[in-house]
Amino acid sequence: MRTSKSKTSKPRTSKPGTSKQTMGAILAGTMLGAALLAGCQNKNDGASAPSSSDSASGSAAATASAGSAADLPEVELVWYLRGSKPKNADSVIARANEITREKIHATVDYRFVEPGDYDQKMQLIMGAGEPFDLVWTSSWSNNYVANATKGAYLALDDYLDAVPKLKESMPDKIWNGVKVNGSIYGVNNYQILGGPHGMSFRKDIVEKYNIDLDSIKSVKDLTPIFEQVKAGEPDMVMVKYGVPALLPYGESGVPPKVEDFIVDTNTWQVGSYLYADDSMVEGYKLMREWYQKGFFPKNVATAAEADQSLEQAGKLFAQFEVAKPGAEEELALKYGYDVVVKPLTDPLFITKAALTSTLNAVSRTSANPERALMFLELINTDKELYNTLVFGLEGQDYTMTGDNRIEKIPDTYQFDAWELGNQFNAYFNGTQPDSVWEDTKAINDAAEVDPMLDFSADLTPIQNELTQIKAAQKEFYVILKNGLADPEEAMKNFENKLAQSGEEKVRTELQKQIDAWRSTVK
């Protein structure tokens, strides 16, 4: 029974839930205490960041110590990496820090960030001006060019003279290719540059169904194979997501492009938007067929492409890959089962995107840029440090089976080698042929260089249009490449939106800039 508590209380002055308010106030008080602390901390960060960057750019390389590391005070560098923290990471990092402490008097705080959070987290860290030293960056995640343009990274040109071994560890065409507006902002993790693209297939399934992989000449030829496997293994997913052409380039090679607008390098005319190009539409139609035949996982509309659960469950037959030398061993390690890799394109030529596909940059907020460079030199030239961070510790994570060859112990430390430095310093893993690095270098040397490599566009006048185009691309590409909707219908909507977003204005502007650039070349 409800009883009235006081005869005189009037509804307008009544205080419902007074005790709740008190609780709220107490809670708020507690939160405030914590918040104030956090606030102060941020303020300190903000205050210290600009000053450290000022001193860094001011002193430049003149003060970069060429003397022995022993004279240097010990510092801790912070390095942000894209990937989950590996197993046994603590012991491996302890060992890596022993090496770096001895050689350059520095230890590194390795900060692993989940791939899905990486872009956003780095935006926040850089936006807040948080002091850190090194960051992994690329053309496809934590955008290198955009961040460099907006001043997040330190220009390295002056610093590089102090670290000659780093400079010499890779060819000049790489150093030139990573330039943004004429300056170097990142150190490439030297690896395969122009490797052909292809597919990996589960080896046991290929053998079970006696599949002739050599019959595959293009993506189209996969359809009958998938039909055959799907009929025999109804529980299995054929591919995780659609790729309308082998990588969004077409099988004949990569067209040179600027901001995803194809450029004909014979006539220097800016052509169609890549994702709406006729060659892609052909691919979209094929992907629609695949979708209807059930080759994709049922939840392809919402699944994350980086999700590895299908591989872990052993339910995936094929994947799109870079078919570089040694890929089979590397992938077997990653997936936990043997695969056969079949290259399906010619080696691609070296584009800006390829050269900037994996780099490490130095933050403008770094208090010790010289030391950060020394660390980059070490990890790119010191085999022991590099292999420790890639493979872990001998005995714990791998066993030495030859002079330069190891056997991984399953389910132990493992981190993406391509984020960490010069891949040609890696031990041979398992059955990787001795020639793997020579083969890779041969491909790199033979690969043609993108004729657009030196061109960098000023995107300021078309920022709004590009932003809208990007939004349209993000909406429609996932639909089209996974065959979720009728391609003709979806293409019509896509093209409409591109036109409304100012596709033509972007093309005209890019054409203008390319013409201007051409007139300066020769």
Partner 1 sequence: MDREKRPGSIARFLKDLGGNLPLLLLTLPMAAYVFIFNYLPMGGIIIAFKNYRYDEGILGSKWIGLENFKFFFTSPDMWRITRNTLGYNALFIVLGLVIPVAFALLFFGIRSKTALKIHQTTMFFPHFLSWVVVAYMAYSFLNPQSGLLNVMLEKLGLVPVDWYIKAAPWAAIIPIAYVWKTVGMSTLMYYAALMGVDHEYFEAASLEGANKWQMTTKITLPFLYPLMIILTVLAIGHIFYADFGLFYQLPMNSSMLYATTDVIDTYVIRALRENGNIAMASAADFYKGIVGFALVLLTNAIVRKRSAENALF
Amino acid 459 reads L
Closest C-alpha to 361, from 82, 155, 123: 155
What's the chain's length in residues? 522
Among 227, 430, 484, 517, binds partner 1 (CB under 8 A): 484
Tokens at 1, concatenated: 């029974």
Site membership for partner 1, residue 433 (CB under 8 A): no
Binding-residue total with partner 1 (CB under 8 A): 66
Comparing CB distances to partner 1, the nearer of 5 and 522 is 5
Residue from 440, 515, 416 nearest 170 by CA = 440
Q: By CB under 8 A, is residue 319 in contact with partner 1? A: no
Q: To 10 degrees, the CA torsion angle through 364, 368, 371, 377?
A: -10
The answer to whether 208 contacts partner 1 (rule: CB under 8 A) is: no
Q: Residue 110 forms beta bridges with which residues?
A: 79
CB of 61 or CB of 485, closer to partner 1: 485
Residue type, 180: V
Asked if residue 53 binds partner 1 (CB under 8 A), the reply is yes
Part of the chain binding partner 1 (CB under 8 A), chosen from 109-117, 328-336, 417-425, 459-467: 459-467
The answer to whether the beta carbons of residues 341 and 198 sit under 8 Å apart is yes
Shortest distance, CB of residue 205 to partner 1, whole angstroms?
Answer: 21
What's the min distance (Å) between Cβ of 506 and partner 1? 13
Out of 225, 270, 472, 491, name the contact with partner 1 by CB under 8 A.
Answer: 472
In the set 44, 55, 496, 508, which binds partner 1 (CB under 8 A)? 496
Beta strands in 294-420 (DSSP E): 318-322, 339-343, 359-362, 398-400, 405-408
As beta bridge partners, residue 183 has 180
Residue 130 Cβ vs partner 1, minimum distance, rounded to whole Å = 11
Binding segment for partner 1 (CB under 8 A), chosen from 7-15, 223-231, 317-325, 511-519, is 7-15
Q: Is 129 in the site for partner 1 (CB under 8 A)?
A: yes
116 contacts partner 1 (rule: CB under 8 A): no
Return the residues of window 351-370 that contact partner 1 according to CB under 8 A: 364
Separation CA 337–CA 146 (nearest Å):
38
Strands (E), 122-237: 134-137, 179-180, 183-184, 186-188, 197-202
Structure tokens at 369: 């840029």
**Would you call 57 helix, strand, or coil by DSSP?**
helix
Among residues 311 and 394, whose Cβ is nearest to partner 1? 311
50 binds partner 1 (CB under 8 A): yes
Q: Is 210 in the site for partner 1 (CB under 8 A)?
A: no
Tell me the three state secondary structure of residue 405.
strand
Interface with partner 1, residue 522, by CB under 8 A:
no
Site for partner 1 contains 298 (CB under 8 A): yes
Compute the radius of gyration of the chain from its Cα atoms. Answer: 27
Cα 154–chain centre separation: 20
492 forms part of the interface with partner 1 (CB under 8 A): no
Binding residue for partner 1, selected from 68, 210, 302, 519, defined by CB under 8 A: 302
Smaller CB distance to partner 1: residue 213 or 484? 484
Report residue 200: phi and psi, to 5°.
Answer: -110, 145
The answer to the question of residue 270 lying near partner 1 (CB under 8 A) is no
DSSP 14-56: --TTHHHHHHHHHHHHHHHHHHHHHHHHHHHHHHHHHHHHHHH
Report if residue 51 touches partner 1, rule: CB under 8 A.
no
Q: Which two tokens stand for residue 336?
A: 């936990």
At closest approach, how far in Å is the CB of 248 from partner 1?
A: 15
Judged by beta carbon, residue 444 or residue 501, the one nearer partner 1 is 501
Q: Is residue 120 within the footprint of partner 1 (CB under 8 A)?
A: yes
Does 11 help bind partner 1 (rule: CB under 8 A)? Answer: yes
Question: Is residue 19 a contact residue for partner 1 (CB under 8 A)?
Answer: no
- Among 24-32, 328-336, 384-392, 398-406, the segment contacting partner 1 (CB under 8 A): 24-32
Task: Assign 261 to helix, strand or coil.
Answer: strand
> Are the C-beta atoms of residues 130 and 49 closer than 8 Å to each other?
yes
Q: Is residue 29 close enough to count as binding partner 1 by CB under 8 A? A: yes
Distance CA(391)–CA(157), nearest Å, equals 31
Q: Are 217 and 225 in contact (CB under 8 A)?
A: no
Query: Taking the complex as a whole, how short is the minimal distance between the CB of residue 502 and partner 1, in angstroms?
Result: 8
- Closer CB to partner 1, residue 327 or residue 479? 479
Q: Please pick, from the candidates 266, 463, 519, 520, the single residue that binds partner 1 as defined by CB under 8 A.
A: 463
519 scored as a contact of partner 1 (CB under 8 A): no
Q: And the tokens for 410? A: 């399953």
Query: Quick check: 306 binds partner 1 (CB under 8 A)?
Result: no
Q: Does residue 143 bind partner 1 (CB under 8 A)?
A: yes
Does residue 37 interact with partner 1 by CB under 8 A?
A: no
The rounded distance, in Å, linking the Cα atoms of 367 and 53 is 7
> Per CB under 8 A, which region of 120-128, 199-207, 350-358, 414-422 contacts partner 1?
120-128
Contact in structure between 131 and 45 (CB atoms under 8 Å): yes
Look at residue 205 and give its three-state secondary structure: helix
Q: In what order do the strands lie in the sheet with 398-400?
A: 398-400, 405-408, 428-429
Query: Residues in the site for partner 1, rule: CB under 8 A?
Result: 1-4, 7, 9-11, 14-17, 20-22, 24-25, 28-29, 31-32, 35-36, 39, 50, 53, 119-120, 123, 126-127, 129, 143, 146-147, 150-152, 297-299, 301-302, 364, 460, 463-468, 470-472, 474-476, 478-479, 484-485, 496-497, 500-502
